[in-house]
Amino acid sequence: MREFVTEEHKKSAVAAVKELIQIPSVLDEEDSGTGHPFGKQVVKALDKVLEICKDLGFETFKDPEGYYGYAEIGSGKELFGLLCHMDVVPAGDEKNWKTGPFEPTIKDGELIGRGSQDDKGPTMAALFAVKALMDAGVTFNCRIRFIFGTDEETLWRCLDRYNEKEESITQGFAPDAEFPLIYAEKGLLQAYLVGPGTDEIAVSAPGALNVVPNEAPYSGTKLAEVKASLDKLGFPYEETENGIIVQGQSVHAKDAVEGKNAITRLAMALSDITDFKPIEFLGKVVKENATGENVVGVVKDEQSGQLTMNFASLEITPEQTKIGVDMRIPVTIEKKALVKQLSEAIVPYGLTYEEFDFLDSLYVPLDSKLIKNLLGTYRDITGDMTEPIVSGGATFARTMNQCVAFGAMFPDTPDYMHQANERWELNSMYRAMTIYAEAIYRLCGK
C-alpha cells in the first residue's frame, strides 16, 4: 500500500488547524447581517478555510450570502463530497480551560483548542489527505468537493441553503464522527414543551438542546426546602452567594443515558415541595430517565436501539414555563407517531408541544460500494475489525445522497467534543490523514 501523506503534509495540516482555531466561530445571531448570517466570526472562519484551499490549488466558491462555501479539485460528471463545518460550540466558562479556548496549544502530543476535534481538526486532516494525493500526481476520476457549512452546531441552515442552490453529490462522507464508520444515524427531533407560568417559583436554566445539562441554578424563598430535598435525594449542589447550583454530569445528548441531568434533579427536588404541574412532569414522571420510557413507553428498534430523550433547558417565569427537549429517534420509528404520544402525555401537566427542529434519520446499506471501500480501507490500515456503527448523533452526512460519517475519531480516542479543554492527539490526526488519503484514492483515483 502506497504511503501518500508525508511529514510536510502533517506539519501543514496542524498549522492550518491552528489558524482556524484562532477564529472564535461561534454562532452570534445578534451579529447577523448581509453576508454573515451567523455572525462575522463564523464567516471569517469560512473565508480562512477557503483561502487555505485556494493556496493548495483548489477552485473555491463562496455563497454570496455567507451560508456556505466549497473547494473543488478534479474533473468528471460525478461529484464526491466531503461535508465539513467551520462553526464551533461556545467555549463555556473559560475558567474551566487550562489554556485559552481560541489559543491553539500543543502540549504532550495533543492539539488543544475549541474545534480541534469538532470539526476543524478533522476537516484539515481530510483536506491535506487530498493534498497529499495531488502532490503524489494522482489523477482523479471525478470531482472532489469539500463543502464547508457554517451552522452545523445549531439549525443546519447552511446546508439547507446549499441543497436549494447547488449540485447534489454522487457520494461522500463527513469527517465529523468516529471510525470505522457510521452507516445509520437516528432521527433528531428538538422541541419545547410550553405551559403556564407561576409566581411561586422561578427557574432560569437555559442550555444547548444537544447537551445534558451539568448545572441548574436555583434561588428563591423556597431555597431551604429545596436544599433539604436535594440532600434527601442525595444530589450534589454548590452554594453560591444568591442560592445554589445543582450539579450533574454533561454528555452529548445522543449519549444522554450516560449523563446526569441537573435540571431534572432540580425538578425532582422542587416537585417534593410544590404542586406546580410542569415541575411535577419533570420531577415525578421524567425523573432521571433519559430514554423517554417514563413518558412515551419503550421506543426502540433492532437496527438502532432505543430512543433518547434529553430535557436540556428549563425557564419558569410568572408568564410561562418552557422546557427544551432533544430526542434521538430510532431509524425505523415514525416521527409523527412519537410526537402524538409525547403531545398526549404532557396534556395532564398543562404543557403543549412546539417543534423547534427536525432532521430525518440516515441509513446507507452495508453492502453499498461506498461503505465497502471506506470500511475496507480502515480495516486494511488499522487491522481493526470493529463493526460499523449506528449513532444517535447527527452529522451533515444525512443531508446528502449516499453519504456516511467516516472518522476522524478512533474507537480508543477520548471524546472531548463540546467540552472544556477540547483536544486531539496529533498521532491520531496523522493516522486519520493516512486513512483518508487511501480511501479517497480507492474511490476517486485512476
What residues act catalytically? 87, 152
Nearest to 392 by CA among 290, 260, 285, 256: 256
For the chain, give me the number of helices (H) and strands (E)? 11, 24
CA 222, CA 133: separation in Å to the nearest integer?
65
Burial label, 430 (beta-carbon count in 10 A; 0-12, 13-18, 19+): middle
CA 396 to chain centre: 10
Contact between 246 and 218 (Cβ < 8 Å): yes
CB 176 within 8 A of CB 119: yes
Q: Residue 445: left if φ>0, alpha if ψ -120 to 50, beta else—which one?
A: beta
Amino acid at position 185, single letter:
E
What contacts 172, CB < 8 A, 6 or more positions away?
A: 80, 81, 82, 83, 397, 400, 402, 403
What type of residue is 75?
Answer: S
Amino acid letter for position 409: M
Please name the amino acid found at residue 177: A
Which of 367-399 are b and which e, b meaning 16 or more Cβ less than 10 Å from the residue's Cβ? eeebbebbbebbeebbeeeeebbbbbbbbbbbb
Judged on CB neighbours under 10 Å (0-12, 13-18, 19+), 172 is buried
Helices 262-271 and 223-233, axial angle in degrees (round to 10): 110
Of the candidates 365, 439, 380, 378, the one whose C-alpha atom is nearest the C-alpha of residue 410 is: 378
DSSP 368-425: SHHHHHHHHHHHHHH---PPPEEESS--GGGGSTTEEE--EE-TTS---TTSTT-EEE
438 grid coordinates: 487511501
